[in-house]
Amino acid sequence: MARIVIAGAGAIGANIAYQLALRGADDVVLADRERIASGATGKAMGGVRQQFSTAAEVRLARASIGFFRELGASFFQPVGYLFLARTGDGFATLEERAELQRGLGVPVERVDPSRVEGLRVDDVVGAVCCWEDGVADPPAVTRELVRRAGVEVREGVDARELDRDVLVIAAGADSAELWPELPVRPLCRQLVEVGPVDGLPGDLPMVLEAETGFHFRRAGNALRLAMAEPTARWTDREEVDEALVEDWRARVAHRYPSAAAAPITRAWAGLYDMTPDAHPIIGWVGEGVYAACGFSGHGFMQSPAVGKAVAEELLGRESSFDLSPYRLERFDDDAVFPEELVL
């Protein structure tokens, strides 16, 4: 059996290793230049959603949600993803997307947002939610998968230096360094936590404002905040923009008034591995080289389906999931279908 070396011990790499082990692969190495879940996985928001704007992304997420449920409450909480619209146009967009999502089996529904304790909704025109979606702990999930896989783990090494028959590039924003033909570039994004916040309900959903992209979730007794930034930071420097921190504090004080006086407990930045259309690149890219990268901020929530499909292809089997929309060759003919919900 071929010796498979996976470059990147984040959510994608760990899921591929786990699925390979389930299928009997006995010569798999999971390698990382740092440590397990030390990259984007360790800095992620932790959202798990099926509500995307393109069918391809919905299908990936739909095929992954069952695995998260099976992990149980210690790893995943299905508290829902609540999208709020402050304008008629915003709500119309949510409804249009919900129609697509429902057509693909995602149980998205109109909801009365006032049902969420502590949430300010007097300026909300309409809302939709999928209660199957929720939040998870990406580093904990990743470490659990590595434990279950039982494969050889090499931390602090460059995967290219290891003997192998196949190299799987799952290195996130560093993937193009391993294979320059990959159109993947780093985008700096940041997160902020404020707390403690008194009276946070245990079932607080991920709350997202449709027009601005501002969103937050419960993280223990704190709220974790994030938002698409007004000016994209195309850089590999993981730096916190303090001006954005203050802006987000004001936004959460408006949307969740109980958090108005909560102090900042921490702020940090990480990197999205972006592609031109915000869809991943999955498939063979060279002799003995397979790519699973460019997830554009969605890798953790899609990793179960990706791991299974990639493992099947690496072992020469027919993939149980259609990976054709994610091949590198799609960029040759400008056949792109941009994902709009990059949060």
CATH number for position 324:
3.50.50.60
Q: Is the pLDDT of residue 37 over 90?
A: yes
Where does the pLDDT of residue 9 fall: very low under 50, low under 70, confident under 90, or very high at 90 and above?
very high
Cβ-in-10-Å burial (0-12, 13-18, 19+) of 197 comes to: buried
Containing structural domain, residue 335? 1-77+136-184+275-343
Cross-sheet strand order for the sheet of 206-209: 108-110, 126-130, 81-85, 206-209, 215-219, 222-226, 185-194, 264-274
Mean pLDDT of 211-231: 96
- What's residue 80's pLDDT? 98
Q: Are residues 326 and 258 in the same domain?
A: no
Q: Are residues 200 and 259 in the same domain?
A: yes
Where does the pLDDT of residue 117 fall: very low under 50, low under 70, confident under 90, or very high at 90 and above?
very high
pLDDT-above-70 percentage for the chain? 97
Q: Are residues 180 and 224 in the same domain?
A: no
The rounded distance, in Å, linking the Cα atoms of 15 and 9 is 9
| Dihedral angle over CA of 58, 192, 134, 170, nearest 10 | 50
Mean pLDDT of 112-132: 97
Could you report the per-residue pLDDT of 189-218, keeping only the tens digit for each?
Answer: 999 999 999 999 999 999 999 999 999 999
Q: Is the pLDDT of residue 54 over 90?
A: no
B/e letters for 89-116, b = 16+ CB within 10 Å, e = fewer, are: ebbebbeebbebbeeeebebeebebeeb
Please identify which residue in the block is written with the tokens 């953790």. 300
- What's residue 110's pLDDT? 97
Could you report the per-residue pLDDT of 282-296, keeping only the tens digit for each?
Answer: 999 999 999 999 999
Q: Are residues 195 and 217 in the same domain?
A: yes
Could you report the per-residue pLDDT of 81-112, keeping only the tens digit for each?
Answer: 999 999 999 999 999 999 999 999 999 999 99
Cβ-in-10-Å burial (0-12, 13-18, 19+) of 198 comes to: exposed
Written as one string, the DSSP assignment of 119-173 is ---TT--EEEEETT-EEE-HHHHHHHHHHHH--EEEESS-GGGS--SEEEE--GG
- What's residue 86's pLDDT? 97
Could you report the per-residue pLDDT of 150-171, keeping only the tens digit for each?
Answer: 999 999 999 999 999 999 999 9
Smallest CA-to-CA distance from 239 within 174, 309, 190, 277 is with 190
Q: Are residues 155 and 37 in the same domain?
A: yes
- In Å, what is the CA distance from 26 to each residue of 4, 67, 144, 152? 9, 23, 19, 10
- What's residue 332's pLDDT? 86
Dihedrals phi, psi of 28, to nearest 5 degrees? -120, 135
Choose one of 220, 255, 274: the last residue of a domain.
274
- What's residue 2's pLDDT? 86
Q: Are residues 109 and 190 in the same domain?
A: yes
Q: Are residues 156 and 233 in the same domain?
A: no
Q: 3-class SS at 269? A: strand
pLDDT-above-90 percentage for the chain? 93
Choose one of 237, 257, 274: the last residue of a domain.
274
Q: Are residues 196 and 115 in the same domain?
A: yes
The rounded distance, in Å, linking the Cα atoms of 157 and 8 is 10
Q: Are residues 213 and 254 in the same domain?
A: yes
- What's residue 337's pLDDT? 61
Q: CB-based contacts of 247: which residues, under 8 Å, 6+ apart?
A: none
Domain holding 213: CATH number? 3.30.9.10
Mean pLDDT of 320-331: 92
Q: Are residues 39 and 101 in the same domain?
A: no
Paired strand residues for 61: none
> In the structure, how many helices (H) and strands (E) does the chain have?
7, 17
Q: 3-class SS at 200? A: coil
| Dihedral angle over CA of 261, 263, 268, 269, nearest 10 | 20
Choose one of 274, 302, 335: the last residue of a domain.
274
Q: Is the pLDDT of residue 78 over 80?
A: yes
The rounded distance, in Å, linking the Cα atoms of 293 and 195 is 34
Q: Are residues 257 and 212 in the same domain?
A: yes
Domain count of the fold of the chain: 2
Where does the pLDDT of residue 174 fall: very low under 50, low under 70, confident under 90, or very high at 90 and above?
very high
Mean pLDDT of the chain: 95
- In Å, what is the CA distance from 308 to each residue of 145, 147, 320, 323? 13, 17, 8, 11
- What's residue 135's pLDDT? 98
- What's residue 91's pLDDT? 97
Q: Are residues 21 and 71 in the same domain?
A: yes
Where does the pLDDT of residue 340 fall: very low under 50, low under 70, confident under 90, or very high at 90 and above?
low
